[in-house]
Amino acid sequence: MVKDNEVKIKVKNLNVWFKDIFALKDINLDIYKNEILGIIGPANSGKTTFLRTLNRLNELADGFHIEGSVYLDNKDIYAKDIDVNELRRKIGMVFALPVVLPFSVLENVIYGIKERIKNKKKILELAEEALKQAYLWEEVKDRLYDSAYNLSGGQQQRLCIARTLALEPEVILFDEPCSGLDPISTFKIEEAMVRLKNNYTIILVTNNTKQASRVADRTAFFLMGQLIEVDTTAKIFTASKDKRTEDYITGRFG
């Protein structure tokens, strides 16, 4: 049993609209510290909307409206006194497609920290550690000043993970991080996620149910903007309580 003080993010009575589109409906969910929570469900089930609600990226969309609460360490992230930039540093996000900057490998990693940290040695130490945590250091340590565009797709995605890690977040949101990647690159990113949960809370949105079964400690099933059920991954995949969850996992729909 996880104690209350181990809850990292608490979502209470969450409803989200985009103009007249009711995107998320009465979501209640606790996300625990140092776990990987997998989120699965068919297209348009609200998975990415939920993820973007957790670091307030939905605010950039036209017609966004929210009711309910999201707490990070018992602090309401939608409170008026919240520094949104600091929130997004604490809750970093890795997107489906790698978005590398038109700079060197090293500059990509340190881009978000060089204004905040002036000590060059400290910056380089953070960059090296982030690349190691992203399982990329050995592949790029002799190419730090090469263009990031010269890296493979899988390497670019791990570079984006390293760039997020360099910001020293507390939570990492992964939105389909392996879509379009080959099995070897996918394996390396999954391996990195499993190691990263020792120091971070991880939320993984994936359309690959097998990926969720491999790496997630718990799995949540979303359907048409609703959270249908959440449980340990083993129970979700072998003894789900709701027939809709079972039907989705077994490929009967979705």
The strand pair at 226-232 and 36-40 is best described as unpaired
Q: Cα–Cα distance between 71 and 30 in angstroms, integer?
A: 10
Domains contained in the chain, number: 1
pLDDT tens for each residue of 17-50: 999 999 999 999 999 999 999 999 999 999 999 9
Residues in a beta bridge with 69: 12
142 in a structural domain: yes
Q: Residue 216, class by beta-carbon neighbours within 10 Å (0-12 exposed, 13-18 middle, 19+ buried)?
A: buried
Buried b (16+ CB within 10 A) or exposed e, 143-162: ebeeebeebeebbbbbbbbb
Q: Is residue 102 part of a domain?
A: yes
Sequence-distant (≥ 6) Cβ neighbours of residue 209 within 8 angstroms: 40, 237, 248, 249
68 Rama sector, left if φ>0, alpha if ψ -120 to 50, beta otherwise: left
Place of tokens 């939905």: 58
Supply the range of the domain harboring residue 212: 4-249
Burial of residue 78 (number of CB atoms within 10 Å: 0-12, 13-18, 19+): middle
Residue 5's pLDDT is 52
In a domain, 254, yes or no: no
What is the pLDDT at residue 1?
Answer: 41
Q: Give the residue-averaged pLDDT of 156-171.
A: 95
pLDDT of residue 253: 67
**214 falls within a domain:** yes
Tens digits of residue pLDDT in 128-140 = 999 999 999 999 9
- State the CATH number of the domain containing residue 22: 3.40.50.300
Judge whether 77 lies within some domain.
Answer: yes
H/E run at residue 186: helix 183-196
Whether 153 is in a domain gets the answer: yes
DSSP assignment, residue 104? Answer: B
- Tell me, yes or no, whether 193 lies in a domain: yes
Residue 3 banded pLDDT, cuts 50, 70, 90: very low
Asked whether the whole model's pTM tops 0.85, one would answer: yes
Residue 251 is predicted with a pLDDT of 85
Spatial contact of 221 and 245, defined as CB atoms under 8 Å apart = yes
What type of residue sits at position 188?
K
Residue 42 lies in a domain: yes
